[in-house]
Amino acid sequence: MNEEKVKLPDSLLEYIGQWKNKKGNVIMVLHKVQELYGFIPRAVAMEVSTLINIPLAKIYGIITFYHLFKLKKPGKYRISVCLGTACYLSGGNDIMAELENILGIGVNHTTDDGIFSIEAVRCLGCCGLAPVLVINEKVYGKLKKEDLAAILGRYRNQEAAVKA
């Protein structure tokens, strides 16, 4: 498999240089990669592997172990549905099922148009508002399935306004 080499941004190369010989360097560098790209592109992971002299398999082991690292580009609007105890008991699972139904995608997937992606999280720290979801950084609490179409509609309308 012949993969194209990618040119990393100078800011990332500088960051890797600062962390190259420090303990915990892989996780810190992966955080920076995800901050820059929104996920960990394979070509970038390969470059990081070479630059910090860590096997690519070890990097992928870390990426797949920690749920916060993403291997696929998330949607413009990342929907995090809380499935922690309070949210789950208050209907978080129903919220998740309804989102999947409305958007036509499953957990950890992105809509074909790249607008929405869904992820399940264990706790958002808003237990008093259960069930809760967050779209990017906006919190929606005390949700009912019936609320979701209107919430998603606002984001779709924003996208339509941008394209108009």
DSSP-H helix ranges across the chain: 10-19, 25-37, 42-51, 56-65, 85-89, 92-103, 148-163
Q: The whole model's pTM is what? A: 0.78
The one-letter amino acid code at 145 reads: K
Mind listing the pLDDT tens digit of every residue in the chain (164 residues)?
Answer: 556 688 999 999 999 999 999 988 999 999 999 999 989 999 999 999 999 999 999 999 999 998 789 898 899 999 999 999 999 999 999 999 999 999 999 999 999 999 999 999 999 999 999 999 999 999 999 999 999 999 999 999 988 888 77
Parts of the chain belonging to CATH 3.40.30.10: 77-163
For residue 70, the one-letter residue type is: K
Q: Which CATH number fits domain 77-163: 3.40.30.10, 3.40.640.10, 2.102.10.10, 3.90.380.10?
A: 3.40.30.10
Tell me which residue has tokens 């929606």: 140
Q: Which of 89, 95, 107, 103 is nearest to 140 (CA)?
A: 95
